[in-house]
Structure 1
């Protein structure tokens, strides 16, 4: 199997650069349009340890949407529009940035995203649905697997009570022989340790989404992750690695309806 072709999505999708530029445009439009958006809230001390919070009201359930970029590209400004459908259906949504590899390791990013969730808990008092795309899908699964009481006995054990990863990478070892692994500071042991696919099931709701036009490996990883944790999965017909997140901007999409049900 050609793992480079399976995992290098920017090469696999010829118009990926235009699609990413479209994310930035749509995200900026949503930040401008959303009433009551709180931008640049600091959940940590670092410059990138900030999130944007799009509120659906004080009593609304809460979701976090974590951007992708293989842990080494992009930031929250490319994903704001993925909060639109949720907010317009009564779910508050936070979109965080985080430090990138190779400046930090993936384990450091996991700790930062956990800190973002603790910030949201302190601010809202609401448990959280974790949603994330690509590397963000990996991070959303890591949040679901987190032992929150071990971090702080005052936290609810199910602080992140459900997850909806989109085109996630749940096994990191297949990345090692590819150019994707450059800058990730991974070896076989750390790749395995950071792979949620091989962690014990947290026995909480998990729904995995992948594009039907994605590579066999992305579809396999999604299927195997859902099976390992007793969750469910869906391949979105015709969607590639970049268009698969489009339904999150649409409050009438079936994906937003499912996310809303999971958040509630």
Structure 2
């Protein structure tokens, strides 16, 4: 934690380098992966079950549910990335067919983006989605007692915010509402982010850094997690994942750290569409308990 907190005092140019995912690949690779997100998500529409379900009356935000059956199923809630300012649920369902083949539902969450709303509101909306699935998921074929969460990049941060402590009473959910999680390429300590180029649109202050950093708000009740990152990540994402894994483990909660070879910040999450990939196998083990 001390090391990551100290990053906030590093020169801006170093932080910009270490947290610029887009600069870690060519423009052609970045654009190709964005197309892959959308095309592979559109390819799983045959397992779509409930689309555009409003989960939060206040914001009107929706989620899509895939792969449900007659009996309520465990659900993997996926939270997209995009540095809190781009992408949507329409780019984020690519794992749904793989999970459906294993009897697992998928819920893909939309949330409003910065700078339209601030990060506190984005976090509130994602937590509201978890609350909705816990209260009302059974109506849509989801087992509320088997909610698993994951996300990539900014979605990894948002995964951390639903793992964090201190929010459950306000949303009327139990502290153990999340049964397991897979943050991928996540951001768990926001002080360095607030001193980087990302501050141009995320506008963090000291209070929001403190309250919205998962690493500073570990829960009393923890679940098993798999913290993953790509070998080709910028260094900041690697440091953050390793530190979150360390903190989670030291808190006494089960944690596995995975570095995925031959992947970059953008294509690593697409491994979840491939049931034979190490990342998807780890997710299946997390949800089913099979070893």
Question: Same fold judged by TM-score > 0.5?
Answer: yes
1:236 maps to 260
Matches within 5 A, 1:10-29: 10-14=22-26, 15-29=29-43
Q: Is the 8 A contact 1:82 1:245 kept in 2?
A: no
Alignment partner of 2:93 out of 74, 80, 83: 80
Match of 1:188 in 2: 206
What secondary structure sits across from 1:229 in the alignment?
Answer: helix
1:208 aligns with 2:227: yes
Runs (4 or more) in structure 1 with deviation over 6 Å come to none
What is the 5 A alignment of 1:165-184?
A: 165-184=183-202
Structure 2 distance, partners of 1:47, 1:148, is: 18
Where structure 1 has 5 or more consecutive residues not aligned to the other structure, the ranges are: none
Farther-moved stretch of structure 1 (37-46 vs 107-116): 37-46
Whether 1:259 and 2:280 are equivalent positions in the alignment is: no
Deviation at 1:220, TM superposition (A): 0.9
Tell me, in whole angstroms, the C-alpha distance in 2 between the residues paired with 1:256 and 1:148: 29
Task: Please list the CA deviations of residues 143-179 of structure 1 after superposition, one character each: whole Å capped at 9, or x if unmatched.
Answer: 11244651255x3331112211000011111112322
- Cα 1:60/1:257, change in 2 over 3 Å: farther
CA distance in 2, matches of 1:161, 1:151: 19
Q: Is the CA contact 1:208–1:232 (under 8 Å) kept in the aligned structure 2?
A: yes
Residue in 2 that maps onto 1:145: 164
Q: Does the alignment pair 1:89 with 2:102? A: yes
Between the aligned partners of 1:263 and 1:44, the Cα distance in structure 2 is 26
**Partner residue in 1 for 2:117:** 104
What SS does the aligned partner of 1:52 have?
Answer: strand
Match of 1:246 among 258, 267, 270: 270
TM-score, normalised relative to structure 1: 0.92
Q: Which residue of structure 1 aligns with residue 53 of structure 2?
A: 41
**What value does the CA root-mean-square deviation take over the aligned residues?**
1.8
Distance 2:60 2:15 in 1: 31
- Size of the alignment, in residue pairs? 261
How far the C-alpha of 1:260 sits from its partner, in A, is 2.2
Which secondary structure state, in structure 2, belongs to the residue aligned with residue 131 of structure 1?
A: strand
Aligned to 2:74: 61
Render the CA deviation track for 1:201-258: whole Å, top value 9, x for unaligned. 4432121000011112111110000110112211101211001112111123332232
Distance, in Å, in 2 between the alignment partners of 1:67 and 1:225 is 19
Instruction: Measure, in 2, the Cα distance between the counterparts of 1:234 and 1:110.
Output: 25
